[in-house]
Amino acid sequence: MLTLECPYCGVTAEETELAPGYEAHLKRFGPGSTDEQFNDYMFARKNPKGVHFERWRHAYGCGKWFLAARCTATLEVFGTYPAQVGAPPEDIIAKIKARRPEWVME
């Protein structure tokens, strides 16, 4: 049972308070996209063993969606941040690099 800090209300929330929402920073492909683009957007989600960016909702708290950078293998949490960004912020990247010097953003 994970604990994640909600970046909006500052609560360190139990996993039972949260709802998971798969991969973060997805780019939506709508009408006009190719079959391949749509397939990648819809179905080819990342599932790395290691550093991963995920969407979580503080569902039984403030109700806000936020993003989390964590390691799926060790369950380390590098940080959480608001969902209104297209890519992980610099300070989160720095925190990941501090513990995973070999890691590179895909």
Q: Which of the listed partners (Zn ion, other proteins, none) does 72 bind, with a CB threshold of 5 to 8 Å by partner kind?
A: none
- CB of 85: closest distance to Zn ion in angstroms? 17
**Could you tell me how many residues of this chain bind Zn ion (CB under 5 A)?**
6
Rule CB under 5 A: say whether 61 interacts with Zn ion: yes
| Residue 25 DSSP label | S
Q: Work out the number of other CB atoms within 10 angstroms of the CB of residue 53.
A: 22
Distances (CA, A) of 7 to 13, 23, 26, 41, 83: 11, 18, 20, 26, 9
Q: Which is nearer to other proteins, 14 or 105 (CB)?
A: 14
Residue from the set 20, 48, 50, 63 that interacts with other proteins by CB under 8 A: 63
